[in-house]
């Protein structure tokens, strides 16, 4: 197996990091700006990502790209209730905490790369939290038979 | 025209990110799971766990795509952002008060993100892939951020009106 995917994600990450630093792109702050100042600049970035991805999936699918199950409109609550609950709880929490922190995880990685001390401490908590999830929460979910 | 003079708007950055994420799944095997071309929760987790599994000998979960080689998104993002900040003379250390709050925010973010199975970007990609769970997750992120904004605004207005400290 060749590391194609590793190199591809490295390049995409570099481009995203560069553009994210220049544009202040954030997938949480857009909602805050709309509420506080009616400024839709950041929200347009979120919608553009949705549009770009949709366009890409449709176009690359027609050009023979590997997109299994697209469009996946067949998920139902009856089939898998827990992922829906996790999506609501996780989404509400991530949105609320992201607003308090000042950005989504992508934005916080970019801010840490610029030298913001707050974002650097955010990343400390981020990676400690990752260890916590692996050691504490994953075994609990597995013991309860919950899908993650 | 110099690259530094080009104004990059969030719209164009988002568009490139969306198309790029679709491209890496379609032609560069960033799969499974689907719509996982770019994620700042799952990809850093895979990268971190992949290294920990090899260095420390633990058996932490990585997605199937990261079994042999890890996804390098987080390395690319940091490198790209450092390069952009350095190129535009914005690379400098800036202090902040209340650093411990940020540690807690980071801790909570990764745990909520792993519960959601993605960051707000991946949820948007999943929605574009047509996943109803993606749309529910996206709506939840929007509602969570909006509600917290309203709570903070109410808290600060209340503090101003009572002459107290909003912190």
**What tens digit of pLDDT does each residue of A30-76 get?**
999 999 999 999 999 999 999 999 999 999 999 998 888 888 877 66
The whole model's pTM is what? 0.93
Identify whether residues A78 and A61 lie together within a single domain: no
Between A97 and B30, the more confident residue is A97
- Chain B CB contacts of A147 under 8 Å are none
CB contact under 8 A, A128 and B23: no
Cβ under 8 Å to A: B residues 33-52? 34-35, 37-38, 40-41, 43-45, 48-49
The residue among A36, A65, A94 that closes a domain is: A65
Residue A143: the pLDDT is: 82
pLDDT, average across residues A70-95 = 82
Identify whether residues A13 and A27 lie together within a single domain: yes
Cβ under 8 Å to B: A residues 3-32? 3-32
Tokens of B81: 């952002």
**Ranges in chain B, pLDDT < 50:** none
| Closest chain B residue to A36, measured at CA | B149
Domain ranges of chain B: 10-162
Identify whether residues A61 and A79 lie together within a single domain: no
Between A75 and A126, the more confident residue is A126
Domain count, chain A: 2
Per-residue pLDDT of B67-115, as tens digits, reads 899 999 999 999 999 999 999 999 999 998 889 999 999 999 999 999 9
Domain containing A75 equals 71-148
Residue B167: the pLDDT is: 55
Identify whether residues A103 and A146 lie together within a single domain: yes
Which of A46, A42, A102, A20 minimizes the C-alpha distance to B90?
A: A20
Q: What is the ipTM of this complex?
A: 0.93
Q: Tell me the C-alpha distance between A115 and A60, whole Å.
A: 37
User: In chain A, what percentage of residues exceed pLDDT 70?
Assistant: 92
Residue A69: the pLDDT is: 83
Q: How many separate helices (H) and strands (E) can be counted in chain B?
A: 6, 0
Where residue A145 falls among pLDDT bands split at 50, 70, 90?
A: confident
Burial of A57 (0-12, 13-18, 19+ CB in 10 A): buried
CB contact under 8 A, A113 and B102: no
């Amino acid at each position: 197996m060749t590391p194609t995917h590793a190199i591809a994600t490295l390049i995409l990450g570099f481009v995203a990091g560069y553009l994210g630093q220049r544009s202040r792109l954030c997938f949480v702050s857009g909602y805050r700006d709309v509420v506080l100042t009616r400024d839709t600049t950041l929200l347009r970035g979120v919608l553009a990502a949705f549009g770009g991805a949709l366009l890409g999936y449709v176009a690359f699918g027609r050009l023979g790209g590997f997109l299994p199950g697209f469009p996946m409109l067949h998920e139902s609550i009856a089939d898998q209730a827990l992922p829906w609950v996790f999506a609501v709880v996780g989404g509400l929490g991530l949105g609320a905490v992201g607003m308090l922190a000042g950005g989504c995880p992508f934005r916080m990685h970019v801010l840490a790369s610029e030298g913001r001390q707050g974002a650097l401490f955010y990343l400390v908590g981020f990676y400690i939290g990752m260890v916590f999830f692996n050691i504490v929460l994953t075994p609990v979910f597995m013991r309860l038979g919950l899908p993650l | 025209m110099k690259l530094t003079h080009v104004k990059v708007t969030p719209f164009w950055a988002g568009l490139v990110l969306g198309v790029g994420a679709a491209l890496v799944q379609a032609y560069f095997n960033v799969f499974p799971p689907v719509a996982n071309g770019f994620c700042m929760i799952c990809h850093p987790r895979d990268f971190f766990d992949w290294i920990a599994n090899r260095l420390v000998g633990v058996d932490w979960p990585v997605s199937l795509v990261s079994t042999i080689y890890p996804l390098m998104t987080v390395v690319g993002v940091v490198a790209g952002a450092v390069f952009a900040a350095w190129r535009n003379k914005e690379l400098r250390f800036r202090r902040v008060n209340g650093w411990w709050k940020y540690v807690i925010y980071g801790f909570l973010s990764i745990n909520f993100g792993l519960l959601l199975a993605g960051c707000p970007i991946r949820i948007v990609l999943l929605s574009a892939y047509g996943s109803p769970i993606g749309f529910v997750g996206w709506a939840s992120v929007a509602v969570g951020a909006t509600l917290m904004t309203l709570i903070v605004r109410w808290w600060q207005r209340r503090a101003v009106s009572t002459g107290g400290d909003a912190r």
